[in-house]
Amino acid sequence: MEDKSYSFVTGRKNTFHVLDYVFFIGTLVVSLLIGIFFGYRGRTKHSTKEVLLAGGKMHFIPVSMSLLASFMSAITLLGTPAEMYNFTTMYWYIGISYFFVMFMAAHIYLPVFYNLGVTSVYEYLEHRFSKGVRTAGMCIFSLQMMIYMSIVLYGPSLALNAVTGLSLWGAVASVGIVCMIYTALGGMKAVLWTDSFQVVMMITGVLATLIQGSIEVGGFAKAWEIAADNERVWFTDFRVDPSVRHSAWALVIGGSFLWVSVYGTNQAQVQRALTCKSLRDAKIALWLNFPGLCIILYLCCLVGIVLYAFYRHCDPVTYGLIMASDQLYPLFVMDIMGHVPGVPGLFVASIFSGSLSTLSSGLNSLSAVLLQDVVKVYIAPDITDQRAALLTKVFAVMFGIICLSLTYVASLLGGILQAALAIFGMLGAPMLGLFTLGMLFPWANKWGAYSGLATSLIMMFWIGIGAYVTKPDLGKAPISLAGCPNFTVFSNGTDTYVEYANYSMLYNSTIDMTTSIADSPVDDSNPVDKLYTLSYVWYSFTAVLIVVFVGMIVTMITGKKDPKTIDARLICPVFDVIFPYLPEKILKPLRFGVNHKGKYDIKPTPSEMPLKDKNPSVGNTDQLVNGIDTEMEIMIQKPDEKEKDDVKFV
């Protein structure tokens, strides 16, 4: 290691070679060309179904790859290695939650949306509760996605700034503009295929850095030993205390609720699944995400172990080489592979392009909900399909501009991994609670939905904002500056400072080498402050409980619904799904009077009728019959052939 010009040896960061820029720009051009190709190919198909749902005939493989890329691209690549560097291997447990996430998303939530044939998931809320609940859900989703996309836009730009010296905000503007053009040109089909290309790029980039990084530190076994000796390897935190940031229970249970709010009820993800030609294919696409998510997660965790071994004697953040831990991985890539022209460019391109796909799908989904839930409901119900398709492209540009303006807010949120997941807990999880209330509790009414959603949002924002303001001690693992050149440590009797070159800073006691992560003190003086120590991983679980608990109490007060009067397509027979082999005499009472067998007894009015019944041309659907998925086509009632002659037309 001593022979090479590493940043912590020279005090300077390596930068791109000309070939790096060539590969970097070339990779982005490929992504843009995919968008241009599908935009040109579909120039004669001016329909919202083509733009928003890729025609509804996609194969499950590109859909699965796109689902994988959307919420696990730049956030995971930048945040997970930093998590391993700063904390411990406890985060590995979140991989277990992915199994439960895919089960719930594929078998509880997705079938309801698919059977209804909706474009916007918030159409369900109107059928189940009321138009006002639908509008509230759409507004919350829009706010959530704009904040999330601003984080995704800021993250790769930060990485690019760290390794090239390019202006951070110049990069932000460039990425945003490219994304708006890409989304307007390509539509959903281009998004799906570009995401597939980017997943291959991501995995290849992570594998390359893992292998080269292991070589640099003397092998992965050596890196693991170094991490274990410095409190990074820890798998035995089974404390039930909800203030513990990453306990096994928090990551498995809380993580399941956190990610099912993404895969089960988030418009951007559900909209992708709805592009499949059948519910069976949509379920396969979701289940393929389980191994895919685990592969990306654990590769990034392994990179984090190697990354710590590499910088164990000189923390780049404290030393002043980079501004934040999210820049660690790009700095690491430039240190270990900067001497191979072209490779760093490909790596940064994988982060950058993956974020482009996330942004484009987010803009596409925001366009869909604005069209379906606002324009068609309140402004122009009879808008032509061609004009609606054009509007979605205008909306994509509009939302892109809004996200650009919100990127500065994202720069203030701290680590992008925790910030992104906390946003889903504060905004996405109350929406998961609302859909759960509707699908699993047939008695719930609209007043329960309103009150449960409002209470959950208020509580989660109170906790989330309080945690940001009070900044509870996170108990980071120890770091060292012993290997940094030209630094000294001095004390004024009260505080300890680190000084090197012409720069000095206060030495943070939370990362002092003598502080153990297991013994981080918790201030019990203020009971309210204790609430702010709730781990962000528990946000989603807490939010869902609040919605269901408050929603059912208000429902009982205001008058519960009779399950027998509810269209069965709006309710998931959860016991049939979980225990499909139980005898009918046990399952029937567990449906609580909702008729899931055979034809539906209750015929909804035209205003309440789900989209599949309004538009039989949508195609085939899967219907739950006794908890078993059977392929069938919902047909409009027609006279029998032998009775056709008796029908008189006036």
pLDDT for the residue numbered 147: 80
pLDDT at 394: 87
Q: Which amino acid is at 235?
A: F
* Percentage of the chain modeled with pLDDT above 70: 78
- Residue 152's contacts (CB-CB under 8 Å, 6 or more residues apart) are 73, 74, 75, 355, 358, 359, 362, 420
More confident residue, 126 or 318: 126
- What mean pLDDT do residues 486-493 have? 53
Distance CA 358, CA 353 (A): 9
Whether 189 contacts 54, CB under 8 Å: yes
* Average pLDDT value for residue range 383-400: 85
Look at the block and give the residue holding tokens 């759409």. Answer: 138
> How far apart are alpha carbons 618 and 634 in whole angstroms?
10
CA distance 372 to 586: 40
Bigger pLDDT: 292 or 479? 292
User: What is the pTM (predicted TM-score) of this model?
Assistant: 0.82
Taking residues 81-90, report their average pLDDT. 91
Residue 490 has pLDDT above 60, yes or no: no
- Residue 360: is its pLDDT beyond 70? yes
Number of DSSP helices (H) and strands (E) in the chain, helices first: 28, 5
- Comparison of pLDDT for 402 and 418, the residue scoring more: 402
- Point out the least confidently predicted range of 336-345, 346-355, 635-644: 635-644
Instruction: Give pLDDT, residue 420.
Output: 65
Asked if 534 and 588 touch (Cβ cutoff 8 Å), the reply is no
Q: What is the pLDDT of residues 345-356, one digit of tens each?
A: 777 777 777 677
Q: What tens digit of pLDDT does each residue of 575-587 get?
A: 999 998 889 889 8
Q: How many CA atoms lie within 13 Å of 357's alpha carbon, on the beta-carbon side?
A: 37
| CATH number, domain 18-419, options 3.10.580.10, 1.20.1730.10, 3.40.1010.20, 1.10.10.60 | 1.20.1730.10
Query: Please, which residues bridge with residue 500 across strands?
Result: 487, 503
Q: Where are the domains of the chain?
A: 18-419, 573-606
Q: Are 125 and 112 in contact (CB under 8 A)?
A: no
pLDDT at 570 exceeding the cut of 90: yes
pLDDT at 421 (0 to 100):
63
Q: Identify the pLDDT of residue 143.
A: 86
* N residues, the chain: 650
From edge to edge, which strands make up the β-sheet containing 503-506? 487-491, 496-500, 503-506
CA distance 647 to 639: 8
CA quadruple 627, 630, 631, 632: dihedral positive or negative? negative
Whole-number pLDDT of residue 601: 35
Spatial CB neighbours of 591, under 8 Å, sequence gap ≥ 6:
563, 573, 575, 576
- Measured distance CA(152)–CA(71) in Å, rounded: 9
Tell me: pLDDT of 258 over 50: yes
Nearest alpha carbon to residue 569 among 589, 606, 595: 595
What pLDDT is recorded for position 526?
A: 65
Mean of all residue pLDDT scores within the chain: 78
173-189: average pLDDT: 74
